[in-house]
Structure 1
Amino acid sequence: MQATAHSPYCIALQPICDRALHHVADKLLYRSCCDADVASIDDPFLATVRSYSAAIYEVGIENLVGERTLLFTAPPEWIEQTGFFELPAKQLFAELTADFFASPTALDAIRRLRSIGYSIAVSQGVFEHHPEIPIDLVDLIKIDCRRPNCLQLAERYAGRGPRLMATFVEDRASLDRVRAGGFDWFMGFVFLPPRRVKESGRKRQSNRAVELRLLAELSAPDLPFEQLEALLAQHPHFCVLLFAQVNSAAFARGQRRIESLHEAVVRLGLERIKTMASLLLLSRNDPVETVQVRMLLTRAAMAARIARRVRSIDPQSAFTLGLFSRLDAFEGLPMPQLLQGMPFSFPMQRALLQREGEMGKLLDVLDAHESGEVSHLSASVVAKLNEDFVHAVAWTKRWLVGEPPQSSVQRP
C-alpha cells in the first residue's frame, strides 16, 4: 500500500552507535506499508513533513534525542524550500538519495545546506551513479555491510574525510566484522530488542551506570516511587528478580498477584531493592544491550500511554506488559520459561503467551506499529500511535542515565 494524503503511516527511530558502541545518533524512519523494511511512498515530501511534524515540531528534538544526532531523508522538494530547514543544524544529518543528484543544481543545494550548518549523508551507491560528486561535500557515507566487498569499499573511502557508517548490521558477528574493518558508525537490528529466542541459557543483563545511579537515588530519603520505577525498568534482568521476590511466599499477601512495578516497589520496600541492586553491581555491562534496553523501555512507556485510552487496562500494568513482551528474547529464554516463578494474573499470562484478551490486543497494536504493519488500522488510530511513540521516546530519554530531571516525574 502506498501512502496517500489519508493513508496511515508510522514513524520510528533506529539507533546508531559509534566504535565504542555508544548510542550517538538515530535515523528517523517512515513506514507506510505492511512488512515495511523500507518506506514505500509516492510522495516523499509529504512523508517527511508528516514524520517531522510528529517527531520534532510536536515533541522537540531536544526531548526526542537529547544531544544525539538525528539522520533524516531529505526529499528534493524540501531542500528547494529552505524555509523548512530551521531546526538546530548541528544535530542533523540530511540524507540525500540518488535521484536528488539528477538535478543540475544539486551541488549548489548541498553547499547551501552546509553553509547553514547541516551535515550531508549519502549511500555509497550514490558515488557509483554520480562519480562527479566531490567527496569533500559529504560528511557521512553509508555502506551496506551485506555487500561482499563492503570492507574493500570502507578501505577505499577511509581517511578521505567523511565518516563511514555500516548499515544492515543484523547480528554480533556482523558487528564485530565491520568494527574491525574501519567503520565509524553502525546501524542495524543488532541494536534493537530481539524478537526471537536465540539462546537456550539465561543471560544476566547489566547496566552498571543505571545501577550506580539507582544506588545513589535509593539513598535519598524522599525518592519518589515513580522515579524509582523509571530507573528499575532500565534493568530488565533486575525486573525479573524483583517480580520473583514480590510474588514469593515470603512477601505474597492473599491471592492477588503483583503485576506492576509500582506495586512491586511498594511491597518490597527500598531497603530490599537497594540490597538486590548492590548484588547486580557485579554484573557485566554489555553496550549493545544498553541500547536495546532503551528500546525496551520506550516500548513499555508506549504501552502505558496507549492504556490511558483503554479503561480496562491499568497503565501501570500496561508498562510492565510492554516490558515483558520482549523480555523473553532479551533474556534468551522462551516466554513460558521466563514466566516461571512470576505468577502474573491470568489475563497478563494469556497476553504474553498467546496474545489473547484486551492486553493481547494492546501487544498486537504495539507490534503493528513497531513493524510498520499498520494498513489494517485507521489513519486516526495510527496518528495517535505516532504521538504515543514520540512521547514515549521523550519519556525514555528523560529517565535514562544522564542529567537528573529538572521537573517532577510524570507518567509515560
Structure 2
Amino acid sequence: MPEQRDHVPFTVALQPIHDASHHHVADRLVYGRHTEDEAEDIMSSTAKALASTVYELGDSGLLGDRTLLVDLPLGWLERPELLPTPAPRLALGIAEEGMIDAELLATLDDIRERGYRVVLPTRLLKQDLETMLDRCDIIVLSSPHDLDDKTLERLPARNVKLLVENLDSREELARYQAMGCDYYHGNYLAKPNFIASAPRGRHGNRAAQIRLIRALYEDNSDFNRLHELAVQVPHLHVAILRRANSSYFHRGGKEVDLHRAVQILGLIELRRLILTLTLASLQPSSRIVLRMALIRAFMCRNLAAPFPALDPEDAFTTGLFSMMDALLEEDRNTLLEHLPLGQPIIDALKHRAGPLGAVLTLCENHERQVEEAIDDLPPDQLHSCYMNALSSTKALMDNL
C-alpha cells in the first residue's frame, strides 16, 4: 500500500535582520502551517521549523554565517537536549506570554551558561527590570517608548543590544538610530523569505526511530548499534551526514561517512538532532524500498571487501544512496547537490564511473538476474555476496 503523504506544506519564514549599517547580519525565524487546526502541537511545529532551518540545510542552507533568532516554547527551552546548536550562532527567545518565576530564571541562566544569547521583549523585561537585565543579551522594541532614557543609558555597559521589530518607514529608522538601536527588521528594509516544505510521507520508519532514541539514552551506548539504527531512517541518515560534515563539526579533509559522523557528533548532539527530527516527523521511508536499498548497500560492501584500494564503507554508502532518492521522495540530482559525499561516490552515483561505479553496476546487473531468473542462479562468488547481503539486511530489519 503506498505511503500516505502529508499534503499540507509546513511553512518557515526568515525575517532578515540588519545592523545600523544596513548589513544583513541575522534572521528571525517565524513558523506556522497552512491549517485551520488551532490546536496543533507547538512542540511539533517547533521541531519542524528547527529541522528545516538548522539540521537539514547545514552550511549550504538559507542562513549562511548569520545568526538565527528563534522564539522557543518554555517546554523546549527547559530541555537542554533539544536546544539547537551551535550555540554561538543562535539567540533564543520565549514563545509564550508568561510571568517571571524562579523556574524561568533558572532556565535563562542555564541557556546563557551554555553559550546562547537570550532575547527578551520589553513587556517581560519590565516585570522585573533589575533581575532580567542580568539575564538578557537582546531586547526587542516594538515602540520607541518601550524603555525610558535612564534604562537605555545603562545598556551599553552591560553589552545588551536593542532589536527594533516591524520597522515600516524611513522616519522610524532614523528615530531608532538616534536612540542607538543595534538591529532592525521590518518590511521597510526587507520582506521575509517564505519557504514551504514539499509534501512528505507521513509515517516514516517509526519503530527504528524509537529504537534509536532508546539506544541513545542507554548507559553504555554502542556507536555501532547507533549506526545500524540510523541506516534504517534515510532522512535521518542524510541529516547526520550533513551535520557532521558542516564547518562547525568538520574541520576540512575527506568527507566523513555515517560511522565517522556518529562519532564526530557524539551522543549529546545526536540526541538533539534525532529528537528534533523525530518530533518533526520528517522521515519518509518505505519498508519495501528500504529493504532493496539495504540489500544493494550490503552487497556493494561485500564486493568491495577483497580490494584494498576500495573502502567498504564508501561502497556501502554508494549502494544505499543509489536508491536514496526513492526513499526520500526527492530528485536525485537535487539531493546529490546538497549531500556531503566524496567525489568518487558522486561520480559512481551519477555516471557509474570509477571503481565504485563498477561495483554498483555489477550489483545492479546481478539484481536484474535475480529478478529475471527462472531457475536458481549458480552459487558463484557474486551470488554469494548477494546472499550475504540478504542475510545482513534481514538481521538489520528483524529488529523493526
What TM-score comes out, normalization by structure 1 length?
0.44
RCO (CA 8 Å, sep 6+): is it higher in 1 or 2?
1
Instruction: Give the greater-gyration-radius structure (CA).
Output: 2
